[in-house]
Amino acid sequence: MTESPPVTTAPKPHIAIDSEALRELRQGRGETQASLAAKAGISFQYLWQLERGVRTSMKPPTFVRLCDALGLRESQRGKLRKHPVRAA
């Protein structure tokens, strides 16, 4: 009997998050971490970790829910993405 090759799956894409921008956007909208987490359908601990840089990325569906909870239009969502710093 021959063995089948192992099934490999590509890693799921994640979106890098700018923790400072997330905190500023949340505070600018007068949201607490608890209220924003509830609106986005994520745990308070997860949001806390994102704002402190303990977690640095999230899956696209979670990113969309967080942006929706912050009231960000599609054109504004780049504010939350962490963009790599380019060397001069």
pLDDT for residue 13: 86
Residue 88 confidence (pLDDT) above 60? no
> Residue 50: CB partners within 8 Å, gap ≥ 6?
17, 19, 22, 56, 58
Superfamily for the 15-79 domain: lambda repressor-like DNA-binding domains (1.10.260.40)
Q: What would the mean pLDDT of 52-66 be, rounded to a whole number?
A: 96
**Domain ranges for the chain:** 15-79
Q: Which range, of 5-9, 16-20, 36-40, averages the lowest pLDDT?
A: 5-9
